[in-house]
Structure 1
Amino acid sequence: MKYFIETLTSNSKSVELPEEFNYFGKLIGSWKFDYVDHNISCSTKGEWHFSWILEGMAVQDVIILPSRETRTEIPHPLTEYGTTLRVYNPATHTWDIAYCYTGRIMRLEARKQDDMIVLTNIDDEKKKWAFVKIEDNTFHWQNVTVKDNGEWLINADLYAVRTR
């Protein structure tokens, strides 16, 4: 297993990945977060871990909701344990993304939109996930649905704080 981890992970981004497209570099590390689902009026704490992989041309993460320290034996209505592969595409200057969790894989594409990083579902462009703001030690993420008039309906907000 040691060799798998060593060959998968990278200590930094590749020099071949242009800095202007380094959308996810500030996320590398570990985070705790508060997740608020507006559709079912529920919230929980979670954790999210990011690492450079594939010689620094990709980022992989693991999201855990609720966090391992706040899990109980009583099922929570907001439960997810998933991983995302974000691979920079030099031909399109976008990020090709696959989000996977038990029983489901979603394909997304990430682009900059104003100051946000917007991930759009390939199969349903009305479904988006946005890193609204990324700072050194905090970030704000949203799950949104685009209405027919173009307005964004915010399904969930996630507010993260760096732990490592």
Structure 2
Amino acid sequence: MKYFIETLTSNSKSVEVSEEFNYFGKLIGSWEFDYTDHNISCSTKGEWHFSWVLEGMAIQDVIILPSRETKTEIPHPLTEYGTTLRVYNPATHVWDIAYCYTGKIIRLEARKQDNMIVLTNIDDNKKKWVFIKIEDNTFHWQNITVKDDGGWHINADLYAVRIQ
């Protein structure tokens, strides 16, 4: 297993990922967060861990809801354990993304819009994940659906704080 981790992870990004397109670099590390699903009026605490992988051309993460610290024997309605692989495409300057969790794979593309990073579902462009703000030690993420009038319905909010 040691060789797998050594060959998968990278200490830094590739030089091919210019700072202009290094959208996710500030996320490298570990975070704890508060997650609220507005559709079912439910909240939980979670954890999210990010690392450079594949010689620094990609970022992989693991998201855990509820966090391992707060998980109980009784299943929480917001239980999810998933991984995302964000691969930078130097030809298009777009991040190609696959999010995987039990029984599902969601494909997205990430682009900058104003000061936000918008991840759009390839199969349904009305479904988006948006990093509203990424700071050194905090970030705000939303799961949104674009309404017919172009407005956003916020399905969920996530507020994270760096722990490492």
TM-score, L = length of structure 2: 0.99
How far the C-alpha of 1:75 sits from its partner, in A, is: 1.1
Alignment match, 1:49: 49
- Residue identity in the other structure for 1:115: N
Alignment match, 1:14: 14
Cα distance in 2 between the residues matched to 1:112 and 1:86:
14
Count of equivalent residues: 164
Cα root mean square deviation, aligned: 0.4
How far the C-alpha of 1:111 sits from its partner, in A, is: 0.2
CA displacement, residues 107-146 of structure 1 (integer Å, 9 cap, x when unaligned): 0000000000000000000000000000000000000000
Alignment match, 1:115: 115
1:94 correspondence with 2:88: no
Aligned-residue sequence identity (percent) comes to: 88
CA displacement, residues 12-45 of structure 1 (integer Å, 9 cap, x when unaligned): 0011111100000000000000000000000000
Gaps of 5+ in 2: none
Cα distance in 2 between the residues matched to 1:131 and 1:32:
15
How far the C-alpha of 1:55 sits from its partner, in A, is: 0.5
How far the C-alpha of 1:46 sits from its partner, in A, is: 0.1
Question: Deviation above 2 Å: which 4+ runs of structure 1?
Answer: none
Gaps of 5+ in 1: none
SS in 2 for 1:4: helix
TM-score, L = length of structure 1: 0.99
Alignment match, 2:136: 136
